[in-house]
Structure 1
């Protein structure tokens, strides 16, 4: 820390924004300033900001001329006392006036450098007309200004020791403590600052000493931070309005207070965070500044991007001070922090917390206008968010979550509505959200309030929505409740008419009520509402058409198809008036006319009169050509022929139907019916061809193609079957179920058995069985056969490899072929168990026998003499002997299987090989005899 003296004047506004409502003007003379440096990057580098030391105010005078004369006196005099006195007066004039008197800091430093000799001269003489304590003080200042800090401190200590009662001693003590602080002797500085705390004559200096005392304690490390925290909080208690003082702090203290709050926040952040603040504040219930301290700690975390800790500080304040006026601001500050962190979900949760905490009427009314505006903003944001979230979730078919989101939106809209100027519009939104969430009763209440109690530009829509809810609820009730609900709808229709006048929607409602009463079986009431629809002058043709339909349906319910036709014709006459737009209605009515004929066909089918039924179905097409009902009738005619097992006629009718209506939704079903008819009529090839034709139109064609392949298989058309099999295997994905695995392996095996496959299919079959988790006896057998096939082929390749010079190279190739054959043979046995064991044992034994034989038959390397050649042959025999032994052991295992497995070709081959390997034991004639499976008692 560096220190220098710099006379200057200040005029500052003393405002601490979060504490003080009105600024105070503080004008004072500054004697000199101690610059304590700036903050470092770490706690160890931190320095307090500069402090300005002020003396009492002086009256305003004009010092320019007097100052000029004193400067001239200083420059011209040779008397030390005169020069010193002139210099003191210059300082006083400048400092007290606070004006530029031509005595700049650079010039002052030069004067003091010259004055040092005068000071020393006066001290040497031992006599001075003035006060020696002031002389020592001025000498300390001169040393400081001329870059001699040690001499300056020595003079100050001399002043303290010689004149302890001097008014200059407190300031001297302060500067000595400052020097210790700058030198890093923080305990010494602490002691020095502490001696100034009780000096009631210098309250400003005591306040600054208290501040620096806290820094001295802070600099001693976290072991002293508890003392530092207490000291700094004492500074805040004394300087900020509260229990110990009222009013506003001076402007000179603002920077010190901000720095005090900041260092307390730093200490708390490095220790227990908000818990540390709670401990420190435990006995300071009357302090007015804790919210500032929590705020600085939260801001410190936020500045360092520790947003979660920043929010935890806000939460701690809200929990500790639930009644504090700043609580809403802390809640809102958490929203800001989460936004800075990019955590939109947590920011939304913080908004919810804000709104919920302040929703009670007493809480809300205690808010400031700005806080209320924020409450409104957050509430509308959350309401709109949950409404949009519900729509998004609904589009994703997450219906439960969507309803929960809409319910939340409704709550926020409903809570906001009475506190907003847009009550009606917000109630409409609340009702809409409630309706979407399934809370229909609440939606009805809000729609009615929005329509009739808080009128707005969409009140008519609100009223109609209330009608719709009541009308839609008709589907949720039955019996007497349905009757009462219909009455409620009727009443609501009348209320809507009275409030908003005639409306096109009323015609639709009345026609709908006519249909509803008809559905209730209340024919008279249905006709009444139909009549109201027809009698109302604003009723349109479509509403009158609907009213006539009610009458037509009544006739139709009697199932008298001839009379029903007449009723529908009257409805058709109104449909004609609707013009081109009524095409679908007219078509519907014509369909109803044709329905009577269609039902006659149904009745004939039930009576077993197939030919008559077909005639009725075909007649429908003449009544309504090209209509859906006519097409259905044609289709049903074909079905009737199928039911009668008239296969050829059914085939003809189905093909005609498909040719006439190639794009109809029923047409795809004709394919399966044709397959049935073709197969039942003995035309399997056409059935398969029909399946292949259908497969070309399917997004996933192979299941259908495999059905065709199965038919070709049954028909004995192997070539067509194999062509489909090969295509399917090329396109098939790895199986995901046991059935798929079996199917694919079966197809490969059939291709292999038919001779239409190369070794690639065997490799695929074997690889799939190895990798599969699903096995069956069939698939294991097929895999064993493939492995045996590859084992036999590898054995042949092994036997074809000659052992020639250089022996090492050819032997390596032969051994590799042997290992490959062994692997396949062992794999075949692992798949098939004992089924192929005889063959596997024989082939494995032959591998060893042939290797031994070829070793013995291999050529002797060139260049060996007779003895070396003999030795080489002996070595070969030593290598070949164990191989022969292994071959004999394996062949013997085959021989030993005879009692349990019986005799087969491969055991016979093993016996033949054993006769060659061990002629003394095996080269003789055998006569196989049967024996009993059960031994007699006592036999061994």
Structure 2
């Protein structure tokens, strides 16, 4: 009986275990002598094993033995030329049997028969694949390429055999050398496209495909590395970035170079990918891999450069946020490493004295630290480091911003207060000129604002009080007294303030109050300054601080005295002025206070008190410069108090020390005159006039003449005094009505005295001698009267003319009345008498003429008593003309009303 062959169909397995079915077919193979039955049993075992996926059937050792036996059956069937089953399957099984029994040539021959005789057989693709594999194994790569290509032509593209054939086709082309690599690359790329068709496939690769994919990637990388590297790979990929696995093959290329030790080529491959695909999401990994490659190469400088490139590449906010969490962490790590490294380099360079290199390194470190801000939990700490690096690189403006952000924007870290304080120190040093750089301009307002922010955020910081004290000093120096006082008050109100800080604050308050004219508050502040110094709390007081504070305290007390004096509060002013002595005894300002107290009393018209204060001041400080005018003030006080005599005595006392005492003595004389004490006054006048003073001005001339006149008025009728009065007036170029009148009257008095002398001379014999004496006396009297006329007014002239006329009249009368010599006879006596008349006549005529001249003045000047006396004399001397009764009337011209 011929064996029945059941066609294999993909249908559900019967309700029996595959192992049991396999056991029965194994038994059938061993028990049957029919070749067809045995071959069919083997086919069924193979199909059951494929369908169930279980490891059933014969063991490998049994299978080799079984297939040796099966070969005999196969050959028997072929030899008979008849087979009820499919010959393609028979040939396939024979090929398998030859392969398993170590007969590869016979196996390939049967496969070729199968493919050639039955090209449409389902087994033909596998047969061809096996033939291609045999050619590949034999090194016949061109034949293998053709066989693999033929497989691809007859199999479905989704078939597993298709991907295997494509994979081996690529390897066949690869084995043919560089000339075939472009064809091989295309097939390998197709293989990868098949295994990795989309993004999700990268995460769901079948385990059985991993080795194939890995080998494909490896061979692509190897081919690219042996030709033009990344450029050739990019060309094979047709410059497309749409394949989801592109980055993997570039990564394999970079790894391949690295494994070979070709580090620069590996770096170039990584860079090439980033360059070819600038927006690829895996660019960060490639950039980071550059650093890893240089790390493998032992090139630390290039490692840092690669990390710096990575940081720079993704520093922009939008690029950084596009990174994955791991990549962001890597970016942060690289930035911190680079910042720390450059900071270390800067520190070393600074220690070595290489300032230029240090500045460059610190600046670079700061840039990395600043980029970390907001991207790390330690933003505050790294910004403080950035600020310190900027500071040491001389970039003060950037340092200030870093410190501020570290303290306030990213505050809360342990170093936040130090960062805030660093900003304050930087501003303060910039304000002092110790930190200067382009773009870094600061002022006290910025420092004050920073201090206020520091105080709000770090209330308990012990440095705050010192800062406020420093600000108080700065505001004071700036002229902003209000803010200076505010800061100083803040300092002294703090319990944590040290003695030195309180001392500085009190000083500012004292000075500011003093400048604002708030002297009472300033006094309190200066007392606090002295209290701080006395308490020993000030650790670094400047030498002489206490003395300076006392001086200022005395000053503000003095200013209070001035202020009170300005408001006419005399008692308060004097009290303030005098209490300076209790603060700073024997000091210049205390002496001045005593002096001003006396002046204040003087200005307040409290003369007795002022005199007492001035007297005490001169007694206590006789050699002080301010004592020089005490005498004048005492004089003024005595005069103002109505005691000119005491003022005069003060002047005389002061004059004893003067080189030229006479100005003071003359003032004293004037005061004696004012007080009605003519005795001491006249004594001073006589002493002064006894020095024969020369007048150099009208005032001096008048003063001298006044002295002489007052002496005469007080009873001193000395001819010398009168003579001096007249002579000085005649010789002077300066005159006044009074001095002229005084001099004229003195001249008249001197003339009258001379006239009396003239009258007292009697004409005796010898007449010529006595007449000469009388005429000389007449001339002396006449000159005095002439001088009076020069000096006096019209009334004086009237008197002078009268007295001059009377001199001549008296001389004529005396001549006429003179005795006739006794030794003359009557005739001679008569003749002598006639001679006397002739001698007397001219004098009488002269007298008449002078009286007449006086009389003629009536028409111009009117009538006065002396003119009247001249008329009486004329009536006696010329009665025919002048002895008549007349009445003198004053003629008044009245306005004619036209009548």
Counterpart in the other structure of 2:50: 95
Counterpart in the other structure of 2:401: 445
Kept in 2: contact 1:58–1:97 (CA 8 A): no
Asked if residue 76 in structure 1 is aligned to residue 36 in structure 2, the reply is no
Bigger Cα Rg: 2
Q: Which shifted more, 274-283 or 542-551?
A: 542-551
Counterpart in the other structure of 1:138: 93
Q: How does 1:218-367 map to 2 (within 5 A)?
A: 218-242=174-198, 250-282=206-238, 284-367=240-323
Counterpart in the other structure of 1:809: none
Kept in 1: contact 2:349–2:355 (CA 8 A): yes
Distance 1:330 1:483 in 2: 44
Distance 2:113 2:150 in 1: 17
Kept in 1: contact 2:26–2:57 (CA 8 A): no
Asked if residue 378 in structure 1 is aligned to residue 378 in structure 2, the reply is no
Kept in 2: contact 1:143–1:151 (CA 8 A): yes
Which among 422, 429, 439 is matched to residue 472 of structure 1?
429
**Cα 1:99–1:436, aligned 2, differ >3 Å: closer, same or farther?**
same
Offset, 1:370: 1.9
**Cα 1:493–1:249, aligned 2, differ >3 Å: closer, same or farther?**
closer
Q: How does 1:377-456 map to 2 (within 5 A)?
A: 377-456=333-412
> Per-residue CA shift, 1:241-267, capped at 9, x if unaligned?
149999955443322111111001011
Distance 1:470 1:204 in 2: 76
Distance 2:452 2:426 in 1: 15
**Cα 1:399–1:59, aligned 2, differ >3 Å: closer, same or farther?**
farther
> Per-residue CA shift, 1:161-185, capped at 9, x if unaligned?
2222222211111111111111111
Q: Which shifted more, 211-220 or 528-537?
A: 528-537
Q: Secondary structure at the match of 1:476?
A: coil
Counterpart in the other structure of 1:190: 145
Distance 2:95 2:74 in 1: 10
Which among 522, 542, 552 is matched to residue 500 of structure 2?
542
Counterpart in the other structure of 2:464: 506
Asked if residue 124 in structure 1 is aligned to residue 79 in structure 2, the reply is yes
Kept in 1: contact 2:254–2:267 (CA 8 A): yes
Distance 2:67 2:223 in 1: 42
Distance 1:529 1:65 in 2: 103
Q: Secondary structure at the match of 2:17?
A: coil
Distance 1:283 1:502 in 2: 65
Distance 1:133 1:524 in 2: 113
Distance 2:502 2:127 in 1: 108
Counterpart in the other structure of 1:368: 324
Distance 2:408 2:201 in 1: 58
**Cα 1:443–1:131, aligned 2, differ >3 Å: closer, same or farther?**
same
Counterpart in the other structure of 1:486: 444
Larger RCO: Structure 1 or Structure 2 (Cα < 8 Å, ≥ 6 residues apart)? 1
TM-score, normalized by length of structure 2? 0.52
Q: Secondary structure at the match of 1:78?
A: coil
Distance 1:245 1:525 in 2: 73
Asked if residue 158 in structure 1 is aligned to residue 110 in structure 2, the reply is no
Question: Gaps (5+ residues) in structure 2?
Answer: 1-8, 512-527, 548-899
Offset, 1:101: 3.0
Counterpart in the other structure of 1:888: none
Distance 1:245 1:505 in 2: 64
Kept in 1: contact 2:396–2:435 (CA 8 A): no
Distance 1:429 1:478 in 2: 19
Offset, 1:405: 2.2
**Cα 1:548–1:113, aligned 2, differ >3 Å: closer, same or farther?**
same
Q: Which shifted more, 343-352 or 456-465?
A: 456-465
**Cα 1:99–1:526, aligned 2, differ >3 Å: closer, same or farther?**
closer
Distance 1:117 1:247 in 2: 50
Q: Secondary structure at the match of 1:187?
A: helix
Q: How does 1:553-632 map to 2 (within 5 A)?
A: 589=543
Kept in 2: contact 1:57–1:96 (CA 8 A): no
Distance 1:56 1:325 in 2: 46
C-alpha RMSD over aligned residues = 4.1
Kept in 1: contact 2:429–2:435 (CA 8 A): no
Counterpart in the other structure of 1:168: 123
Offset, 1:109: 1.0
Distance 2:546 2:278 in 1: 73
Q: Which shifted more, 373-382 or 187-196?
A: 373-382
Kept in 1: contact 2:430–2:441 (CA 8 A): no
> Per-residue CA shift, 1:87-128, capped at 9, x if unaligned?
222222223222233511211111001111111111111111
**Cα 1:58–1:412, aligned 2, differ >3 Å: closer, same or farther?**
farther
Offset, 1:82: 1.7
Q: How does 1:852-931 map to 2 (within 5 A)?
A: none
Distance 2:426 2:10 in 1: 81
> Per-residue CA shift, 1:723-750, capped at 9, x if unaligned?
xxxxxxxxxxxxxxxxxxxxxxxxxxxx
**Cα 1:79–1:524, aligned 2, differ >3 Å: closer, same or farther?**
closer
Asked if residue 461 in structure 1 is aligned to residue 423 in structure 2, the reply is no
